[in-house]
Structure 1
């Protein structure tokens, strides 16, 4: 298949959508470098753990929401081998970086990139074996709507997967984490990416986002079954997995 970027209209977006879009457009070129710096490269280990839990098979299909610069999209394409992998993001700047990485890996015919809205996916029901979202669910206007859309587009028996920053609960690590996340992280963004306000947004985006157990309950409320929640690196991040009911079983 051809690597495809479809157009999307941004009219009618909420103030949060507009602001988040501007943040990611402005940091796209430094996004990968800053991920390594700010997470001490732990995001790679978190994604490896997630891929092991997903246990993709040859020919499996997937849609990766808020795919950013496509690291997870590429990992799934390599694991699937022959199945269609779609990466969707609302930021053309992030997709442009991802497009270059996809080409470097020689996966242009295996990965399709789409500019679109995670809350209204332009895909049919029951289309993919997996629907994933990495470090993007806390940035959407309505995370329950995104979870409903993810459930809608996966096949019966398919898997909905969310890898996201979370909230440590035990002291003194909790105090140290929040000090780093709220005070030092924006300064590192200013130092390395010449962006302060944009990286100040990251801790702000986590404040109103549910913790690990609350997000697991949100998965259940969406109707997903066999929900699993994994705490990663002392609760800095969390992996959530849910299965769409298979009516044939």
Structure 2
């Protein structure tokens, strides 16, 4: 009997975790693709990730002088957007991949924002910040890769001020046909081969559809936001539901 896609994805994860924990595996993936990450993002999303981030910034309505921490900041595209919107505010980018941070650091310097942005190596599961420190805590395309997304959301909620905003921009699952079928065919069959062609990485890009398949859908993630105690939760589908923006407010 042929295994369904979900069973196959669970099998991939089980094979990964027999050899190395998820956190270590994901870190090795991003270490290996760091220098090609930005180019591959443009290719694989047809540059839509830029529009998604622009939409997120508009919904956040960040004010001059406000501060933020960008969790799983990677090569710092969102970190830079936060710094540009904030102006004089201090922005911290945190990631567990030194190679991704090094690419991000070069971009920060090129944008002449080193005085506004501090980059640190750290773990999203245990943020090295005191309570009630930031106006915003953001995570872009990283929540599906952490060992425990509920723990990460609790940490993000902990470090924002009362009335502060927890924001997640993430790949999601389209729900309507025929777009859904076309999307999954591209994501599972074509995308890993594009990774092989443009970044010489096949196995690493096979992980991407697996991680999305096992991640909560848009409505389910909105409920998780509420369960961790965030209020006024918003869930916005983007580009037919292939990505989603979630926003929650810490109670005052």
- TM-score strictly above 0.5: yes
Question: Could you tell me how far 1:207 is from its partner in structure 2?
Answer: 1.4
Q: Which residue of 1 aligns with 2:114?
A: 108
In 2, the alpha carbon distance for the partners of 1:105 and 1:207 equals 36
Which of 6, 28, 48 is residue 42 of structure 1 equivalent to? 48
Segments ≥4 residues shifted beyond 3 Å: none
RMSD of aligned C-alpha atoms? Answer: 0.5
Is 1:158 aligned to 2:132, yes or no? no
Deviations along 1:70-109, one digit per CA (max 9) or x if unpaired, are: 0000000000001110000000000000000000000111
Question: Could you tell me how far 1:199 is from its partner in structure 2?
Answer: 0.3
Is 1:244 aligned to 2:250, yes or no? yes
Secondary structure at 2:130 match in 1: coil
Within-5 A mapping of 1:23-38: 23-38=29-44
State the aligned residue count: 233
Is 1:55 aligned to 2:91, yes or no? no
Q: Which residue of 2 aligns with 1:177?
A: 183
In 1, the alpha carbon distance for the partners of 2:214 and 2:102 equals 30
Is 1:209 aligned to 2:215, yes or no? yes
Question: Could you tell me how far 1:206 is from its partner in structure 2?
Answer: 1.0
In 2, the alpha carbon distance for the partners of 1:133 and 1:98 equals 15
Within-5 A mapping of 1:91-240: 91-240=97-246
In 2, the alpha carbon distance for the partners of 1:18 and 1:178 equals 27
Higher helix share: 2
Question: Could you tell me how far 1:40 is from its partner in structure 2?
Answer: 0.1
In 1, the alpha carbon distance for the partners of 2:212 and 2:49 equals 17
TM-score by length of 2: 0.92
TM-score by length of 1: 0.93
Is 1:88 aligned to 2:90, yes or no? no
Is 1:21 aligned to 2:27, yes or no? yes
In 1, the alpha carbon distance for the partners of 2:147 and 2:198 equals 28
Question: Could you tell me how far 1:63 is from its partner in structure 2?
Answer: 0.2
